[in-house]
Amino acid sequence: MRTHGWAGSAPATDDEAVARILTAASKAIDERGADFSIADVARTLGVTRQTVYRYFPSTDALLVAAAVHAASDFLDRLAAHLQGITDPVEAVTEAIATALEWLPKDKHIGLLIAPGRADAHTEQVTSDVAVDFARAVLRRFDVDWASLGFTDDDLDELAEHLLRIIQSFVIDPGRPPRTGEALRAYLRRWVGSAVITAAASPLD
């Protein structure tokens, strides 16, 4: 760990350095949106750009990391919104629809799906980190997955499937895009049917 810079207060570990960089990146996104740069973050921290590059190889890499960092709060809000929904079809339908409605309005996570950025970043939606988040949200539903025959492996696959569906809507919302109850009816019919099938035919 290098000890110079950092406005006179060097982090004790690399983990602390990353946390400080992500906090500074979050502040820069609040102020400048997608136009923030490594230089903005370095200036806030009192370090050189090379120091930031030591942890994040590019502005886009830092943008993705900052979005994932912000995802925890986003998913906490989503879980709270779904509280009390015990039917698996309704829970999955509302989770996808609400995520699609909230994502474009989220100043941090929304940057990943802004025009011109989807192609570069949507692969992050099925990264290990993203699947971990989705898995955690599924387990926080008020749905008794075990009584429906879902195993841990089933939930892992369902988490990945939900992320892939969200990704497809982000890339192409449809012509015209479905919103509100029309979106929910579509998801209920086509995604919900898959959930019911999975419950009836669990993995071996």
Q: Model's pTM, two decimal places?
A: 0.73
Q: What is the pLDDT of residues 134-185, one digit of tens each?
A: 788 888 899 999 999 999 999 989 988 988 898 889 888 888 999 999 999 9
Which among 187, 30, 169, 5 is positioned nearest to 95, based on CA atoms? 187
* CA neighbor of 96 nearest in space, from 167, 150, 16: 167
149: which DSSP letter? T
Q: Where are the domains of the chain?
A: 1-57, 71-200
The Cα–Cα gap between 194 and 204 comes to: 17
Rounded Cα distance between 145 and 160, Å, is: 16
Superfamily of domain 1-57: Homeodomain-like (1.10.10.60)
